[in-house]
Amino acid sequence: MPRPATEADVFDLCFRGVLVYLRLTMIDTVPAELILDRRTALPEDYAFLLKAHPRPTWEGHPNNGQWCQFWLARHTMFREFGEGLTDACEKLEAGQVEPQGFHEWFMPRVSFFLGELDTHHKIEEYHYFPLLTRADARIGKGVDLLESDHHVIHDLLRGAYDTIVALDAAIQDKLDDVLGVVPRMRDNLAGLDAGLQRHLDDEEDLIVPLILERSEADLGMH
């Protein structure tokens, strides 16, 4: 899996540098059944423009501009990393790859994945979500839902990180412990991947139709 350009190549480094990322308390306006790990679908009144702009119309739409295409490409990258890293853990657990070779392949990629995902969420929360809510108040409850998702994903990410640290230590110092750690790490990464896939799909169904309806320039997205 190639390592694509980071979001820092596109977003202003100064903007990133001043961010102080505070995890606020869980948003309590989101109905319990819509919390990420319980939600099975996005209600129609949340995705209020999806019927007017269904997925098959997105590609090639004149308002699907540079920002939207870049943002969707980031989501595709996160989906691919989530699946690829979980798959690699399953191969290690099945004895199809050697721990040392796995370690060399896996560690830089999982580090890149977790770091970029965290940065992506910060940029959405501090810049694009407020901008969208100001542009159209109807997306407000959808944005609350997405921010609530970020909290759930952040907790899943922390769980995955903790087991990755344990696996890193086992591979470097105690090879006998590797197979004891791998199932936990695979489960944590698979849980993160499942939550992320749901979040990315729903985030796109909320935001892309609004961009297509109004255009990036009208919304002030750049």
Cβ closer to Fe ion: 74 or 103?
Answer: 74
Cβ closer to Fe ion: 146 or 171?
Answer: 146
Q: How far is the CB of 174 from Fe ion (least distance, A)?
A: 37
Taking a C-beta distance cutoff of 8 angstroms, is the pair 153, 203 a contact?
Answer: no
Tell me which residue of 158, 183, 157 sits closest to 170, measured CA to CA.
183
Q: How far is the CB of 99 from Fe ion (least distance, A)?
A: 33
Measured distance between the N- and C-terminal CA atoms of the chain, rounded to whole angstroms: 28
For residue 59, is it left (φ>0), alpha (ψ between -120 and 50) or beta? beta
Q: How far is the CB of 167 from Fe ion (least distance, A)?
A: 26
Cβ closer to Fe ion: 61 or 79?
Answer: 79
Cβ closer to Fe ion: 181 or 203?
Answer: 203
Taking a C-beta distance cutoff of 8 angstroms, is the pair 185, 167 a contact?
Answer: yes
CA dihedral of 161, 162, 163, 167, whole degrees rounded to 10: 90
Instruction: List contacts with Fe ion (CB under 5 A).
Output: 124, 203
Cβ closer to Fe ion: 16 or 184?
Answer: 16
Q: How far is the CB of 173 from Fe ion (least distance, A)?
A: 36
Q: How far is the CB of 168 from Fe ion (least distance, A)?
A: 27
Q: How far is the CB of 46 from Fe ion (least distance, A)?
A: 14
In residues, how long is the chain?
Answer: 222
Taking a C-beta distance cutoff of 8 angstroms, is the pair 154, 21 a contact?
Answer: no
Cβ closer to Fe ion: 92 or 203?
Answer: 203
Q: Within a 10 A sphere around the Cβ of 107, how many other Cβ atoms? A: 14
Count helices and strands in the chain by DSSP H and E runs = 7, 0
What is the C-alpha to C-alpha distance for residues 61 and 122, in angstroms, rounded to an integer?
A: 28
What is the C-alpha to C-alpha distance for residues 18 and 218, in angstroms, rounded to an integer?
A: 27
